[in-house]
Amino acid sequence: MAKSKIVKGIEKISDGVTKGYKKIEKGVVDGYTKIEDKFVDQYLTKDGETVEEAKERLKKEY
């Protein structure tokens, strides 16, 4: 069954909205991760501990 022009247009718009949302979501998550890593590095790491090790230690403690 052939799709109408309206249905094709709606699908095109929904694809664009979804791609835009994913791009924004990735940017927000990446920005948060950078801030979180800097905070953990500055305030929560112990002597010689990496950021990843500190995060794992904190997950186990809480």
* Segment 27-41, tens digit of pLDDT: 999 999 999 999 999
Question: Which pLDDT score, from 0 to 100, does residue 32 have?
Answer: 98
Specify the pTM. Answer: 0.74
Residue 16 placed within a domain: no
In a domain, 39, yes or no: yes
- Does 12 reside within a domain? no
Residue 9 located in a structural domain = no
Structural domains in the chain (count): 1
Its domain, for residue 47, covers 30-62
The tokens 């699908």 sit on which residue? 11
20 within some domain = no
Residue 44, number of CB atoms within 10 A of its CB: 13
DSSP letter string over the chain?
-PPPHHHHHHHHHHHHHHHHHHHHHHHHHHHHHHHHHHHIIIII--TT--HHHHHHHHHHH-
Mean pLDDT, range 5-24, rounded to an integer: 96
Task: Give me the amino acid identity at 20.
Answer: G
User: Per-residue confidence at 1, pLDDT binned at 50, 70, 90?
Assistant: low
